[in-house]
Amino acid sequence: MRIYEFAKKHNIQTKDLLKMLEEIGIKGKQTLSQITESEINKFEEYLKKGEKKEEGKKEVVLTENENVNELSKKIKIPSSDILKFLLDEKIIVNLNQTLTKEQIKKICEKFNYIPIFQETKPQTIERKVEKQPVYIKRPPVVTVMGHVDHGKTTILDKIRNTKVAEKEVGQITQKIGAYKVNLPEGSIVFLDTPGHEAFTAMRAMGAKITDIVVLVVAADEGVKPQTIEALNHAKSANIPIIVAINKIDKPNANPEKVKQQLSEYGMIPEEWGGNTVYVNVSGLTGEGINDLLEMILLVGEMLDLKAIINCKCDGTVIESSIDRFRGPVISVIIENGILKVGDPFIVGTTWGKVRAIIDEWGKRLTEANPSTPVEILGAHEIAIPGEKFKVVDSEKEAREFSEKMRRERENIVVPVKRLSLKDLYEEIKKGEVKELNVILKTDFYNSIDAIKNIFSKIPQNEIKINIIHSGTGPISESDILLASASNGIVIGFKVPVEPKAKELAKKENIEVRTYELIYDISEDIIKAMEGMLEPEIKEEMVGQALVKKVFKFDKNFVVAGCIVVSGKVVKDSKVKIIRNGKIIYNGILTSLKRFKDNVNEVSYNNECGIGINNFNNFEEGDIIQSFIEIEIPKKIKGE
């Protein structure tokens, strides 16, 4: 009898049988090898011993890729019992997180089951081309790189004739955006990537999906370390580089110095006998912008950029977030084919059907061609930037492929060390190695990699920074619970804290810190590690009001008719306006009325009229959070 026949008879995977034979000293067998009678007897004795050892245990067929919820159903054990067991083992997971094979074995052992793992093969979907590929000319995709505050967004600003930079905190771009510019000579797609040094990972991702890099260098400041970082990313991706020397309108501008500095890195200007194109520009006055666009289109022509038009659409994810009303929103640059409303698609481990295609100006499209940046509605979950987006034949195919992909991706969960902040600080003073567990929540997915990158640059010879969970959206109760279980802290970047999460954090004595500028995170972490945080003024939320109606008395005087849904709102307090789960404005509550009377505060479940200094753009459904300031010692607890 051949090995594979023997395995089938005993209902055992062939590869598992071969391993079992090796365990009892029968080595060198292959799938088609014969198994002798003496070897069969030896194996059956081995099975009998195993049956006695596993007496009372049930077998369960698994795929090695179950999450807690799926495993719970298969072994008929409540998911809460499984989570409790894992927590006792110092393993933190959620219901939908894929377990490792070792973790599944541990759980089965605990609950008296014998796992039998079935082999799964990796799934791929190839681009489908109808007959012979038909190629069309496509616009170039351009990544704008450079040092922080060297004017990348201001240049795009001038090109698009908008005021994006003025809307950014500190006028530093905090997320990736894509914009298509249509010119008489042709179209160009721009990626506006953040310029702060913490966003290295974002710029690297941007370079992978672009055809040309515009490296922006300020004529008055010259080459900076981050300029070289950006240059290296573009070089490693083998992408043509155009250098835009910005701010030439400044009195101390010195474009020749910039050329000299970059020539040391192999960027020799054309007029010096090299191959690098340099263009002098001013994002402020617009000087040289047309020359820059001409050079981009010229380089694009030389690259002879083409896309396949008669195939299922595919593209690359550049951003992803969750909108309170629209659900998951995925920003994609189309690479091949034509995307249409109603197309079923897969992207990473999620799938969906295109409900809407929206361009960068908020206009709805019925279809999108190659090299077009669009927002897509209809996905079941957010996607990871850099993942491939593919249209498939049916929703059934999309769902099945997504499920297989999800099962094939294992999330390796690192057991966390239980350590209080007090113990952490004491160990820092002793000079021992320890960990700081962090739960990280951000407004956009790309910000996660950015903050991880900034943490990686912090010297960790004294302390290891361990991000045990990261995600997008408001800080929730589950984030606080995870911080409590792991003795960690919660960091939020440009996200609000849900009221129940705030209450739970206070109860569990969990430290929650939120930030508007990403480099402030690094500064605070370093100071915390050194035990040198100075006293701070902390905002404490005292209440929330829901906007039910908006009253416009004139152009400059708008009042929000509200009902207080928690705590109380206080006149002259600081306020944050939350829309779709995001902070859209910070200001002062300057006017508070109860009916026709001016009042100092309005308590829970009462209606009121609210006016906020320099803000008139209320919408029904907005949440107004009222804060008071308290001074607290900004030190590690337990010092």
- Distance CA(514)–CA(527), nearest Å, equals 16
Residue 128 resides in a domain: no
Tell me which residue of 427, 422, 493 sits closest to 198, measured CA to CA.
493
Same domain as 610, residue 483: no
Percent of the chain with pLDDT over 70: 80
According to the model, what pLDDT value does residue 427 have? 56
According to the model, what pLDDT value does residue 532 have? 46
Last residue of a domain, one of 271, 304, 337: 304
Give tens-digit pLDDT for 580-633: 888 999 999 999 999 888 999 999 999 999 999 889 899 999 999 999 877 664
Helix (H) or strand (E) holding 455: helix 445-456
Residue 210 resides in a domain: yes
Same domain as 342, residue 222: no
Same domain as 183, residue 287: yes
Same domain as 374, residue 334: yes
Same domain as 394, residue 319: yes
Q: How confident is the model at residue 196 (pLDDT cuts 50, 70, 90)?
A: very low
Give tens-digit pLDDT for 302-341: 988 999 998 999 998 888 888 888 889 998 999 999 999 9
Same domain as 525, residue 543: no
> Counting Cβ atoms within 10 Å, is residue 556 exposed (0-12), middle (13-18) or buried (19+)?
exposed
Q: ∠ CA(471), CA(477), CA(481), 5° rounding?
A: 90
Beta-carbon contacts of residue 112 (< 8 Å; ≥ 6 apart): 56, 57, 58
Beta pairing class for 388-391 and 314-323: antiparallel
User: Which CATH number characterizes residue 206's domain?
Assistant: 3.40.50.300
Place of tokens 């996660």: 448
Cβ-based neighbour number of residue 119 at 10 Å: 10
- Distance CA(125)–CA(123), nearest Å, equals 7
Give tens-digit pLDDT for 334-385: 999 999 999 999 998 899 999 999 987 788 999 999 988 899 999 998 887 7
- Distance CA(479)–CA(474), nearest Å, equals 10
Residue 271 resides in a domain: yes
- Distance CA(456)–CA(465), nearest Å, equals 8
Q: Report how far apart, in Å, the C-alpha atoms of 185 and of each of 141, 159, 191, 295, 370 are.
A: 15, 14, 20, 11, 18
User: Which CATH number characterizes residue 609's domain?
Assistant: 2.40.30.10
- Distance CA(248)–CA(246), nearest Å, equals 6
According to the model, what pLDDT value does residue 545 have? 94
Residue 275 resides in a domain: yes
| First-to-last C-alpha distance (Å) of the chain | 72
Q: Report how far apart, in Å, the C-alpha atoms of 598 and of each of 563, 612, 627 are.
A: 16, 14, 19
Which tokens sit at 52?
A: 């006695």
**What DSSP letter does each residue of 164-196 carry, written as one string?**
HHHHSGGG---S-EEEEEEETTEEEEEEE---S
> Which is more confidently placed, 174 or 557?
557
Task: Answer yes or no: are the C-beta atoms of 144 and 177 closer than 8 Å.
Answer: no
Cβ-based neighbour number of residue 101 at 10 Å: 14
Helix (H) or strand (E) holding 154: helix 152-160
Same domain as 94, residue 78: yes
Same domain as 337, residue 380: yes
Place of tokens 């308290």: 630
Residue 6 CA, chain-centre distance (Å), reads: 49
Q: ∠ CA(398), CA(402), CA(407), 5° rounding?
A: 155
- Distance CA(408)–CA(533), nearest Å, equals 44
Place of tokens 């905090």: 174
Beta-carbon contacts of residue 272 (< 8 Å; ≥ 6 apart): 259, 263
**Residues 429-463: b if buried by 16+ CB within 10 A, e if exposed:** eeeeebbbbbbbbbbbbbbbbbbbbbbeeeeeeeb
Q: How confident is the model at residue 466 (pLDDT cuts 50, 70, 90)?
A: confident
Same domain as 289, residue 153: yes
Residue 412 resides in a domain: no
> Which is more confidently placed, 79 or 408?
79
Last residue of a domain, one of 304, 322, 337: 304
Angle between helical axes of 101-110 and 79-88 (0-180°, round to 10):
110
> Which is more confidently placed, 592 or 36?
592
Residue 133 resides in a domain: no
**Mean pLDDT across 162-181:** 53
- Distance CA(359)–CA(178), nearest Å, equals 9
- Phi and psi for 192 in degrees, rounded to 5? -100, 100
Range of the domain at 157: 139-304
Beta pairing class for 58-62 and 597-598: unpaired
Task: Answer yes or no: are the C-beta atoms of 601 and 592 closer than 8 Å.
Answer: yes
According to the model, what pLDDT value does residue 630 have? 76
Last residue of a domain, one of 407, 435, 451: 407
Which tokens sit at 391?
A: 């249209």
> Which is more confidently placed, 175 or 453?
453
Cβ-based neighbour number of residue 393 at 10 Å: 12
Coil, strand, or helix at residue 335? strand
Q: Does the structure show a pLDDT above 80 at 33?
A: no
Beta pairing class for 327-336 and 364-365: unpaired
Residue 126 resides in a domain: no
Q: Report how far apart, in Å, the C-alpha atoms of 206 and of each of 96, 175, 218 are.
A: 29, 12, 21
User: Which CATH number characterizes residue 484's domain?
Assistant: 3.40.50.10050
Task: Answer yes or no: are the C-beta atoms of 413 and 101 closer than 8 Å.
Answer: no
3-state helix, strand, coil in the chain (%, to 5): 30, 35, 35
pTM here is 0.48
Place of tokens 């701010």: 247
Give tens-digit pLDDT for 385-442: 778 899 999 999 988 888 877 776 644 443 333 343 344 455 555 555 467 888 899 9
Task: Answer yes or no: are the C-beta atoms of 255 and 219 closer than 8 Å.
Answer: yes
- Phi and psi for 178 in degrees, rounded to 5? -130, 140
Q: Torsion angle of alpha carbons 52, 57, 63, 64, nearest 10°?
A: -80
Beta-carbon contacts of residue 175 (< 8 Å; ≥ 6 apart): 194, 319, 443, 444, 446, 447
Same domain as 607, residue 523: no
Structural domain tally of the chain?
A: 5
Cβ-based neighbour number of residue 619 at 10 Å: 12
Beta-carbon contacts of residue 113 (< 8 Å; ≥ 6 apart): 57, 58, 59, 60, 75
Q: Report how far apart, in Å, the C-alpha atoms of 476 and of each of 84, 203, 224, 313, 505 are.
A: 20, 29, 39, 36, 10
Same domain as 172, residue 287: yes
Which tokens sit at 278?
A: 């340099």
According to the model, what pLDDT value does residue 124 have? 47
According to the model, what pLDDT value does residue 610 have? 94
Helix (H) or strand (E) holding 259: helix 255-263
Q: Does the structure show a pLDDT above 80 at 193?
A: no
Helix (H) or strand (E) holding 493: strand 489-493
Same domain as 591, residue 452: no
Q: Torsion angle of alpha carbons 317, 319, 325, 327, nearest 10°?
A: 40
According to the model, what pLDDT value does residue 439 have? 87
- Distance CA(266)–CA(262), nearest Å, equals 7
Residue 125 resides in a domain: no
Place of tokens 């990871």: 384
Task: Answer yes or no: are the C-beta atoms of 279 and 272 closer than 8 Å.
Answer: no
